[in-house]
Amino acid sequence: MAYDDRSVKPMSASLMRARIASKMLAGLYEDVPTMMTSSVRLIVELPGSSQQPGPPYPFTFAVSPAWCGGLQGARLVGSGKIDIGWLNPSVIATMAYLGKGPFRRSLPLRALAVFPSWDRLVVAVSGNLGIGSLEELREKRPALRVSVAENDCVSFAIAALLKAHGFSLKSFVEWGGSVEPVVRPSNPRRREGIISGEIQMVIDEGLDSWGPVALEHGMVFLPFSEKPTAKLERYGFQRAPLTGGRLNGRVREPTNVIDYSGWPIVTHASLADDLAYHFVAVLDRIHEGIPYDAAQVPPMSSLCRNTEAGPLGIPLHPGAERYYREKGYL
């Protein structure tokens, strides 16, 4: 780093204020999560000077899924406007790193960790429609009330999925139906519509939040055919079976869809090695006491490698990799 830790007293005014501020921020998230999750960035000004170049100044860690968790978040981190960001899903980081899909050029992203979050991008339809594939859906052109996600990364994925199968969201309106966007997969209007039967189709991820109720009320998940899936793979998406999560064992037959798993914490290649190293060291120290989108606390070794629930499609930052190797996690 570009500063000497020995010059900082155990509880200097700066550290005292930083500790108070971090506790206040955590408290605000606990008390008013809906308001805070989309509006707060954690910005820490690191000691440094023009004579001693160090990490980006100030150091910005953005966690909001609303404005920096998807395509925009990858672009902000890749350009250095944000130093560390939390993306969802992992394929966004992979596409950005490779310069595929919505990214016109490769972005210098590096991973600090990837948190497990099993998920799939799926299409569910009412079972009484008798539709068994997206091709059959296109042929029958039924008038449906369709619930879809609306944010930059999921909207892109849904558009790519439907395009690969030969139609679009506008097609549902042309067939006499309607499209109702929701920001979150767990939107109560969607759940109520599934239960009442007023919603006949859902296209989304966040499967654990609405998938079980969809199955309970007679919806079926449509498989993605080989040729459209191959087109999606050229974007950078990965095919995956519809197994795992809360649906495990409840889907009647093998159904291949698109993987939408993982919460990678990413940074840019120019982040100081020491900062990346210590970031992961802190994660290691607290990892058993923090929440996860998983049934069990994952081992640290799973946060630095490719897993089903946490795909890792980009390189680790060298500083983070050094820590993982020193501790025997790699």
Domains of the chain in sequence order:
5-118+262-326 (3.40.190.10), 120-259 (3.40.190.10)
Q: How far apart are CA 312 and CA 28, in angstroms?
A: 31
Cis (ω within 30 of 0) for the bond into 58?
yes
What is the predicted pLDDT for the residue at 238? 94
| Percentage of the chain exceeding pLDDT 70 | 81
Give the residue, 250 or 175, on which the prediction is more confident.
175
Taking only the tens place, the pLDDT of each residue in 229-288 is: 999 999 889 999 887 667 766 676 668 899 999 999 999 999 989 889 989 999 999 999
Distance CA 67, CA 111 (A): 20
Question: What's this model's pTM, rounded to 2 decimal places?
Answer: 0.84
Using the CB atoms, write b or e for 102-125: b if 16+ within 10 Å: bbeeebbbbbbbbbbbbbbbbbbb
- Tell me what the mean pLDDT of segment 302-317 comes to: 95
CA pair distance 132, 30, nearest whole angstrom:
43
Give the per-residue pLDDT at 2: 43
Averaged pLDDT, 131-149: 94
- What is the per-residue pLDDT for 4? 45
Q: Given the structure tokens 């042309």, which residue do they identify?
A: 174
Encoded tokens for 70: 């998807």
Q: Which two tokens stand for residue 292?
A: 């996860």
Single-letter code of the amino acid located at 290 = I
Which residue is it, tokens 């081992």?
299
Q: Determine the pLDDT at residue 253.
A: 67
201-204 and 145-149 strand pairing: parallel
